[in-house]
Structure 1
Amino acid sequence: MRDVVLKNLRERFQSLNEIVDTLNPELFTTHLNVPKNKSVGEHMWCIVGARESYTKSLLKGEWAGFECSLASTEHRGDVIEKLRSSEAAFEAAIKDINEWTPERNELLVYLLEHEATHEAQLIRHLFALEQTLPESVKWA
């Protein structure tokens, strides 16, 4: 089962990379006129932070708290860099884990849930802004 979760996580990582790669820079700060709305950049901050935090937690074997190194949610280049570096850190961590405990498996599933939730929110946000998404995006 862990292999399926990892495969799906990698697909979500790739999908989000492709979405961000196609976005105009001004979209990173654009909000919708609805309650509790996040901009694209704010979604990216949460995604990067979750990747970094769950990676740290997976290595520790238990939840280790939330931190995010993405300082600017307004600059496309910064977001792309942090998406890629957080993905690389995750992949390195997975290779370093020798013992997969129930806690680690649970953390892995939580990260997948988080990625999928934000991807769906981001897709709806971009459709509301009448943006076109890459054909490779699974749920678009």
Structure 2
Amino acid sequence: MDILKKRVLQAMSLTDDFYNHINEGCLTLKISDVPSNTIGGQAYCIIGARESYLKALKNGHWVGFDCSLIDSNDKPLINSKLEETHANIERFLRETGIDNITSNLLFDLLEHEVQHHGQLIRYTYANKVEFPKSWNIRYTV
């Protein structure tokens, strides 16, 4: 299960790199001509999922979605929340063994984070934004 922990942390690092790389103006970008929230709205969902899955991991079951991000257009706040949630999950993984419930929740968190990577790739292409180097390496974009 160490590989699962490693992959969760790797996915979170890629997300963090993405939001560190883009400029603040990118947070309001959408995909035109399709139902779409913003790149900042994607951050809200990612941060909320990290916070909510950590709560679920600690409780052994899903206890609902909640997000502490109050402004999805504030790049310093988003980056701070991404760093905080990443560190909190990394600390939990370092200190906790993985049982069946925890591994299922970790897989759910990993799937959620990576699903947002796919969405962010579409946003990035649609808005002609440059990818961070780590995404070029990982996803060949």
For the aligned pair, the TM-score class normalised by the smaller chain equals over 0.9
- Structural mapping, 1:95-134, within 5 Å: 95-98=94-97, 100-134=98-132
Distance 2:6 2:74 in 1: 29
Q: Which segment is superposed worse, 46-55 or 22-31? A: 22-31
Count of residues paired in the alignment: 138
Instruction: Tell me what 1:13 maps to.
Output: 12
Q: Which AA in structure 2 matches 1:135?
A: K
Instruction: Tell me what 1:34 maps to.
Output: 33
Distance 2:46 2:84 in 1: 12
Percent identity, aligned pairs only, is 30
| Aligned-pair CA distance for 1:46 | 0.3
Distance 1:95 1:3 in 2: 10
Q: Which AA in structure 2 matches 1:87?
A: H
| RMSD, matched Cα | 1.2
Q: TM-score, normalised by structure 2?
A: 0.92
- Structure 1 position 61 matched with structure 2 position 27: no
Structure 1 segments, 4+ long, off by >6 Å, are none
Secondary structure of 1:136's partner?
helix
Distance 1:128 1:35 in 2: 11
Cα contact 2:47–2:81 (8 A) shared by 1: yes
| Aligned-pair CA distance for 1:92 | 2.0
- Structure 1 position 51 matched with structure 2 position 50: yes
| Aligned-pair CA distance for 1:56 | 0.8
Q: Which AA in structure 2 matches 1:19?
A: F
Distance 1:41 1:91 in 2: 23
